Amino acid sequence: MTDPVYILGIESSCDDTAAAVLRADADSHAVLSSVVMGQTELHKAFGGVVPEIAARAHAEKLDLAVEQALEEANIQITDLTAVAATAGPGLVGGVVSGLMCAKGLATALNIPLIGVNHLAGHALSPQIEGQSPFPYLMLLVSGGHCQFLIAKSDDKFIRIGGTIDDAPGEAFDKAARILGLPQSGGPAIEEAAKQGDPKCFDLPRPLLNRDGCDMSFSGLKTALLRARDAVLNDQNEIARQDQCDLAASFQAAVTDILKVKSQRAFQRYLEFEPKHPCFAVAGGVAANQTIRGDLKQVAQDAGAQFVAPPMKYCTDNAAMIAYAGLTKFKRSDFDGFDLSARPRWPLDSESPSMLGSGKKGAKA
């Protein structure tokens, strides 16, 4: 690769319509633009993301997001070298919208089409503005996913554990609904927890008594519901301080689970004999400052480098898709126009499925 290349990234796997432009040459790369158009207001009344509404919003906003990304990058559409788009996993209607947009652009411009695994985008996101030496331990912790991965290279990941039910981000959203807090649940819980007592309610830490790196958050959500109901039965209302105490106690439980399981995952990671041990964290939940602080402490206690992408690259974005697309571009790993959207797409296809499988394949 001698001349500079310009990769357009497109992300539409859930409720964020995103486009980004990445410039790269033989020795370096830089994000020239990253546009994210959220849908919070569209889904607010429903207490969560409605797939049909999300898909329609993506179809309406994708061309605008691409146009804005090109304008902010100060390039013309004809300057693009390739287009990379999330091909899964995710809400299939949204994935289809982004993928069809990418196919149309690749066809019109006669440039390569690159399908990207959304999980690979998150797993490689620490590389966007820094270098994490392979192999590194990755905790991918987001709204729909929670996995411990050994990132051996940009196209080889080994899953060593993860959630057996809800992802932490999903649990945060459900917890916010239980407590009457707004969506998105993660930021709402984090903000309320600042004024709360994390020791006020004794919530469980599921699976900490079980060896290994697997986690569970569904029972914690149920315990929060029962704690809230107990307060209601006693006081006939949930005061603001009760909300804050419950939020703080819930966040503390999630943090403890992730911290202890990360310590165990790190011991497993050391079996790969990394020359420069590195613990990387990515995904929307990694934006939580309390959680991030405790995970950073895990790395420091182990004498390892701690790496996390900037906040803007923690939640869903297209810059990470463009970067993952760049790694495939360098290998000439392109896709045909028969590329299909995949609602399920495990990053590690060799490990046994954690969440079961069906006609559409393994969930994770």
Q: Residue 250 and residue 246: Cα distance in Å, rounded?
A: 6
Task: Retrieve residue 296's tokens.
Answer: 């950073």
Residues for the chain: how many in total?
A: 364
Protein fold of 134-308: Nucleotidyltransferase; domain 5 (3.30.420)
Encoded amino acid at 201, one letter: F
pLDDT band for position 351 (50/70/90)?
low
Give 39 or 110, the one with higher predicted confidence.
110
With b for 16 or more beta-carbon neighbours within 10 A and e for fewer, the 110-130 pattern comes to ebbbbbbbbbbbbbbbbbbee
Tell the burial category of 304 from Cβ atoms under 10 Å away from its Cβ (0-12, 13-18, 19+): buried
Task: Retrieve residue 170's tokens.
Answer: 């999903």
pLDDT band for position 250 (50/70/90)?
very high
Q: What is the DSSP string of 136-171?
A: EEEEEE-SS-EEEEEEEETTEEEEEEEBSS--HHHH
Q: What is the DSSP string of 318-343?
A: SHHHHHHHHHHHHTT--B-TT----S
Q: What is the pLDDT of residue 292?
A: 92
Q: In which residue ranges of the chain is CATH 3.30.420.40 found?
A: 5-125+313-362, 134-308
Q: Residue 85 and residue 27: Cα distance in Å, rounded?
A: 23
Q: Is the pTM of this model over 0.85?
A: yes
Express the helix, strand and coil content of the chain in percent, nearest 5 each: 45, 20, 35
Q: What is the pLDDT of residue 354?
A: 57
- Selection from 126, 129, 138, 117 nearest residue 272 by Cα: 138
Q: Provide the 3-class DSSP secondary structure of residue 111.
A: coil
pLDDT band for position 360 (50/70/90)?
very low
- Selection from 91, 104, 116, 101 nearest residue 39 by Cα: 91
Residue 357 has pLDDT above 50, yes or no: no
Q: Residue 8 and residue 65: Cα distance in Å, rounded?
A: 11
User: What Rg, from alpha-carbon coordinates, does the chain have?
Assistant: 20
CATH top class, domain 5-125+313-362: alpha beta
Kindly report, residue by residue over 163-193, the tens digit of the pLDDT: 999 888 889 989 999 999 988 888 999 999 9
Q: What is the mean pLDDT of residues 112-122?
A: 96
